[in-house]
Amino acid sequence: MSERFSFQAETKRLLDLVIHSIYTNKEIFLRELISNASDAIDKLRLLSLTDSKLTFQNGEIWILADKDKRTLSIIDNGIGMNKDDLINHIGTIAKSGTSEFLAKISENKANNIAELIGQFGVGFYSAFMVSDKVEVITKKAGENVAYKWESYGEGEYTISEVEKENNGTEVKLYLKPVDEENGIEDYTDEWVISKIVKKYSDFIQYPIKTYVEDKEKKTKEEKILNSMKPIWRKSSSEIGSQELEEFYKHISHDWNKPLKHILYKAEGTLEFYSLLFIPSKAPFDFYFQGYKGGLSLYVKKVLIAESYEDLLPKYLRFVKGVVESSDLSLNISRETLQNDRIIVQIRKNLTKKVLDSLFELLEQDRENYLNFWKEFGNALKEGIISDVDNRNKLISLLLFESTNSDSKLTTFKEYLGRMKEDQKEIYFIASESRVIAENSPHLELLKQKGYEVIFLLNPIDEVMIQYIPEFEGKKIKVIGRGKLDIESEDFKERKKEVEKKSKEMKDFLSFISKELENQIKEARFSENLISAPCCLVGEEYDISPSLEKYLKKENPLFTSSKRILELNPFHPVIQKMYEKYRSNSSEESLKDYCELLLDYSLLSEGQPVNDPVKFNKIFANLMEKGL
């Protein structure tokens, strides 16, 4: 004889929320029921250690489907339940069916939800997403009476005594019709069941079994659906390279071999296991805005999220792998994590481990690090901008082209080892190509003194370098902005001569500044030019022409800032112009020369001239006069 129990008045609405609002993926019901079964076996195993009345044999979970009757059963040999357990545990959702609880679910207050409702209760009720009716047949270990709990999920349930030989629980689902448009697959199909188990529960420590029909022999054979072998819990000596490679391909869907793997177990106040991989190739869309990274997150060997992005900072989105923790608490759907403090700590530990591994690769395997840098170097540059805590580590991982070599890339540390004794700053130049940078007038004096200059050849480089004011006591100087300050005697002497020329030719400089006032801030003499007649420079915090060009491409309304035209007072062209100015020669031709100096400066840094038609006309006229 069965007893009928009524849920509270709000329960129907509550079940609607559980079924339709909390879970986003209906196949998760099987993960929940398997996890509950595993928890029940765990509980019996632990209680049997201290209670001699309880016996524990090998735990196992069965999934049995009946295609004709459209039923699916999940069976375990765990602790089981008695009548009170059925009311208190599965009925938790009914007990919590208050207006306050409903309000908190609606507000998505995860911590409060966790206090009000047990993970088992809600995981169980996810079965109603795919079922019209649910039966629970269960017998508690150490007791003699078994019970059947039955409900259509509409506000009532019944409990009755039944016959059951062994302890444990069977959850039997009377499945809804297949409705793939609304996410309900055929959960009696062996392939569908295997797929879900493999995806979410492959590493549950107890075997998950089913029967597979052999059509030729017309028999059913037992099959284990899960591997039960979490590779990340093994020691390095237990894992072969082939096993690592296969696992990487399984979780990443990348058919290339990984560049490096990181097996890491954290112990102490916070414990977790992880197996991370650094790919050898970047996906084609890696640097597109919509690309999403993330690690697979397991809690007690159950997959909670396939791509959980908060376990590593965004700039490390290239890292693939898995993390398992038993310390995490979950919200009622197991889809959103509650304990931010633990996630933050895991993230901190993993970030440190990845960066340490990359530094090890840089120091011990330069060739493979160069391959990594080619694929993912720009991602690390994003980290310089965004990750204050790890900025110093990231700086040590940066590689640059420089005037030191045509092919080899250099680190900051290597650059410092080659610096001249009298060199006080680390020099950079921003440009859109190495050829333009190498031939820039800005490099003339530094080349003469034998100072190495690093090239910033990507738009992100120039943004990044603003976050690195110095390295090991040496200040960063981007040339082409402001003035160079070199502490050698010959430079100081040259500076004095330029200051003298500036006073002598003050009116001439004012004339050039006036003629080009719509295009430059001012004209001035420079001590930095050797063989070039002129160049353009910005103020100390201006951006380079190459970055301006990139920003204009992204935003056509972006306006360029005026720069300073620096002249070489010792160059024959400038001296001849000054002579013409002093002799009151044709002012028109001097204006043309001013325009040509500006266009020369633009062309020397790879920029287009302001007015190509005018440039061609002036150039042709001056050639004609010269010839």
Residue 110: band (very low, low, confident or very high) from pLDDT cuts 50, 70, 90: very low
Domain-located, residue 391? no
| DSSP assigned state of 237 | G
Instruction: Assess whether 526 and 575 both reside in one domain.
Output: yes
Domain-located, residue 401? no
pLDDT digits (tens, 9 = 90+) for 323-360: 999 887 655 445 556 557 888 999 999 999 999 999 99
Lowest mean pLDDT, pick from 103-107, 431-435, 490-494, 561-565: 103-107
Instruction: Assess whether 30 and 107 both reside in one domain.
Output: yes
Q: Provide the 10 A C-beta neighbour count for residue 286.
A: 16
In terms of phi and psi (left: phi > 0; alpha: psi -120 to 50; beta: otherwise), the region of 377 is alpha
d(CA 208, CA 30): 12
pLDDT digits (tens, 9 = 90+) for 181-197: 888 899 999 999 999 99
DSSP letters of 549-611? HHHHHH-TT--PPPEEEEE-TTSHHHHHHHHHHHTT--HHHHHHHHHHHHHHHHHHTTPPPS-
d(CA 12, CA 94): 9
Q: Which residues contact 346 (CB under 8 A, 6 or more apart)?
A: 266, 270, 272, 311, 323, 325
Please name the helix (run of DSSP H) or strand (run of DSSP E) that holds residue 413, with its range, or none.
helix 412-418
**Which amino acid, 573?**
V
Span 66-75, mean pLDDT? 96
pLDDT digits (tens, 9 = 90+) for 212-228: 887 777 788 899 999 88
Lowest mean pLDDT, pick from 85-99, 110-124, 296-310, 392-406: 110-124
**Can you give the pLDDT at residue 103?**
55
Listed residues 325, 349, 366: the one ending a domain: 366
Instruction: Assess whether 163 and 262 both reside in one domain.
Output: no
The residue whose two tokens read 């508690």 is 140
pTM value is 0.78
DSSP letters of 118-183? -HHHHHHHGGGGTEEEEEEEEE-TT-S-EEEEEE-SSSEEEEEEE--SSSEEEEEEEEPPPBGGGT
Flag whether pLDDT at 164 surpasses 90.
Answer: yes
Q: Provide the 10 A C-beta neighbour count for residue 452.
A: 19
Instruction: Assess whether 180 and 289 both reside in one domain.
Output: no
Domain-located, residue 393? no
Instruction: Assess whether 166 and 250 both reside in one domain.
Output: no
Instruction: Assess whether 522 and 615 both reside in one domain.
Output: yes
Domain total in the chain: 3
Lowest mean pLDDT, pick from 11-20, 74-83, 461-470, 541-550: 11-20
Domain-located, residue 416? no
Domain-located, residue 470? no
Give me the domain span that covers residue 66.
Answer: 2-224
Instruction: Assess whether 286 and 261 both reside in one domain.
Output: yes
d(CA 439, CA 452): 14
**Can you give the pLDDT at residue 250?**
83
Could you tell me the two tokens for 407? 């092919």
Q: Which residue has the higher pLDDT, 431 or 556?
A: 431
d(CA 566, CA 224): 78
Domain-located, residue 430? no
**Can you give the pLDDT at residue 99?**
47
Residue 200: Cβ-neighbour burial (10 angstroms; 0-12, 13-18, 19+): buried
Q: Which residues contact 192 (CB under 8 A, 6 or more apart)?
A: 185, 186
Domain-located, residue 394? no
Residue 405: band (very low, low, confident or very high) from pLDDT cuts 50, 70, 90: confident
Phi and psi, residue 441, nearest 5° = -60, -25
**Can you give the pLDDT at residue 337?**
64
Domain with residue 590: its CATH number is 1.20.120.790
Instruction: Assess whether 76 and 197 both reside in one domain.
Output: yes
pLDDT digits (tens, 9 = 90+) for 480-533: 988 888 878 888 899 999 999 999 999 999 999 999 999 999 999 999 999 999
Q: Which residues contact 365 (CB under 8 A, 6 or more apart)?
A: none
Q: Which residue has the higher pLDDT, 607 or 361?
A: 361
Domain with residue 242: its CATH number is 3.30.230.80
Instruction: Assess whether 213 and 315 both reside in one domain.
Output: no
Most confident range (mean pLDDT) of 109-118, 243-252, 351-360 is: 351-360
**Can you give the pLDDT at residue 268?**
85
Nearest to 246 by CA among 272, 275, 226, 281: 275
Handedness of CA 98, 100, 106, 108 (dihedral sign): negative
Q: What angle do CA 520, 546, 450 make, to 5 degrees?
A: 90
Q: Is 479 helix (H, G, I), strand (E, B) or coil?
A: coil
Listed residues 311, 339, 366: the one ending a domain: 366
Listed residues 192, 224, 256: the one ending a domain: 224
Instruction: Assess whether 158 and 25 both reside in one domain.
Output: yes
Domain with residue 131: its CATH number is 3.30.565.10
CA distances from 63 to 13, 133, 172 (A): 30, 17, 10
Could you tell me the two tokens for 28? 């998760």
Instruction: Assess whether 127 and 243 both reside in one domain.
Output: no
**Can you give the pLDDT at residue 228?**
86
Instruction: Assess whether 64 and 102 both reside in one domain.
Output: yes
Continuous H helices in 444-561: 444-449, 459-465, 489-504, 506-515, 545-554
Span 117-125, mean pLDDT? 54
Average pLDDT, the chain: 87
Percent of the chain with pLDDT over 90: 57
Domain-located, residue 181? yes
Q: Provide the 10 A C-beta neighbour count for residue 259.
A: 19
**Can you give the pLDDT at residue 115?**
34
Flag whether pLDDT at 257 surpasses 50.
Answer: yes
Span 101-124, mean pLDDT? 46
